Amino acid sequence: MSNNIKATVALLPGSYDPITTGHMDVIRRAAALFDRAIVAVMTNDMRAYVADAKVKQYMFSMEERTEMARLACAGIANVRVISSTARLIDLVDELGADVIVKGVRNAADYAYEQQHALYNRAHNPKAETLYLPADPSYDHISSTLVRERITTGEGLDELVPPAVAAYIRERGE
């Protein structure tokens, strides 16, 4: 009996500003469950979900975020990293994704992701979302924490994959 779920292509969308060890835990677990996992570095425009939402400001450009994700995922054979400015509901069809995979750390994450999942499914019935709970050893890690550490010059080694820490150091952040 195989451990694979019926779906074969998992789509893992996110802003990944930057990609963290918590993200990588979810990506590795999804890659173990599905035949293929596509990490989609995207822009997070909450205006589709909340009318008065502000546009998110990123520390890293789309190209930098994508490169860091590629570096972090380089050793996982069935993971592909892409960048996209498309709407997630359209990307599901474009890539032939069977499921959207999102990691959740706590009730606040779940509530936030549930807003997205309900909208996505209402606008594309094929946009089914699967939540993977965070491993407790990573549930305190967020891209926000990493960006704060970068700003204050604190260490990143336990928060981001080694290749990402090196990339950020080389950039002079």
Give the active site residues. 23, 56, 105, 143
60 and 83 Cβ atoms separated by less than 8 Å: no
Neighbour-count burial of 57, counting CB atoms closer than 10 A to its CB (0-12 exposed, 13-18 middle, 19+ buried): exposed
Strands of 9-128, DSSP E: 9-14, 36-42, 79-84, 99-104
Q: How far is CA 63 from CA 16, 145, 164, 172, in A?
A: 11, 21, 14, 17
Distances (CA, A) of 6 to 9, 11, 94, 99, 162: 10, 14, 19, 10, 33
Distance separating alpha carbons of residues 110 and 116, to the nearest angstrom? 10
Helix-then-strand count for the chain, H and E: 6, 5
Query: Which tokens belong to 172?
Result: 């002079």
